[in-house]
Amino acid sequence: MIKSQNLLTEVESKELLKKAGIPVVEAKLARSKKEAISVSKEMGFPVVLKISSPDVVHKSDSGGVKLGLANATQVGKAYTEIISSVKQAYPEAQIEGVSVQPMAPSGVEVIVGMSKDPQFGPVLMFGLGGILVEVLKDVSFRIVPVTERDAREMIREIKGYPILEGYRGQKPASIPALEKLIVKVSQFVEKNPQIKELDLNPIFAYPDKAVAVDARIILE
């Protein structure tokens, strides 16, 4: 667990991003099992539940994420399991409840992030999600403000670019949607200098759009 006063929860992060015009899979906070079930019904199944705590950075490591919940019974069970396994892993963590969101259909996973360089200030990163970013570090960077041309170049710069174009029958990712998203993120961090770091990880890219499935914002 990384203790941080400045970590916004997923629900808070996504609210800010949505206001800035960055497409996200909306998440709602549920403070009880009952609330989790009623929010799920509102959204429509299947849903995803994730622990909501300002103290838990890596949610899935502590059993804090349950995917593909198909009905109210599964949601109720998942709620109980998430709360108890996070409490066990991090007894000191302050737990608000869980975030509930619709289960997004799978797309090409990419990551867009921001960190601050001591010499050049906010810097955006783009890469393919999952193993490609973690193991191969196949990512590209640009200094904020990132123009449309920069976004275009940083997407094409990564070695895994052919995967975005649709590899071996896989559906392609909308490059224009990704370009637009990157430029929007650049504008967002430019307007909000109090943001220290940001990860949209993963973003699911589809043939016609791109949506941030998880988001994390860390303030100065």
Q: Which residues bind another protein (CB under 8 A)?
A: 2, 4, 7, 57, 111, 113-115, 117-121, 123-125, 127, 133-134, 137, 139-143, 150, 153-154, 197-199, 201, 216, 218
For residue 142, the minimal CB distance to another protein (Å) is 5
For residue 121, the minimal CB distance to another protein (Å) is 6
For residue 163, the minimal CB distance to another protein (Å) is 18
Looking at the Cβ atoms of 41 and 58, the one nearer to another protein is 58
What region, left, alpha or beta, does residue 78 occupy, with left being phi > 0 and alpha being psi -120 to 50 degrees?
Answer: alpha
Q: Is the omega angle on the peptide bond into residue 46 within 30 degrees of 0, that is, cis?
A: yes
Residue reference for tokens 């549920």 = 30
CA–CA dist 92, 56 (Å, integer): 10
Looking at the Cβ atoms of 117 and 208, the one nearer to another protein is 117
For residue 87, the minimal CB distance to another protein (Å) is 22
Contact 55, 4 (CB under 8 A): yes
* Strands, E assignment, 24-146: 28-30, 47-52, 65-69, 97-102, 108-117, 121-128, 139-143
For residue 20, the minimal CB distance to another protein (Å) is 17
Looking at the Cβ atoms of 57 and 104, the one nearer to another protein is 57
* Closest alpha carbon to 195 in 178, 215, 213, 180: 215
What region, left, alpha or beta, does residue 121 occupy, with left being phi > 0 and alpha being psi -120 to 50 degrees?
Answer: left
Looking at the Cβ atoms of 133 and 183, the one nearer to another protein is 133
For residue 141, the minimal CB distance to another protein (Å) is 4
Looking at the Cβ atoms of 28 and 216, the one nearer to another protein is 216
- Coil, helix or strand for 171? coil
Looking at the Cβ atoms of 31 and 149, the one nearer to another protein is 149
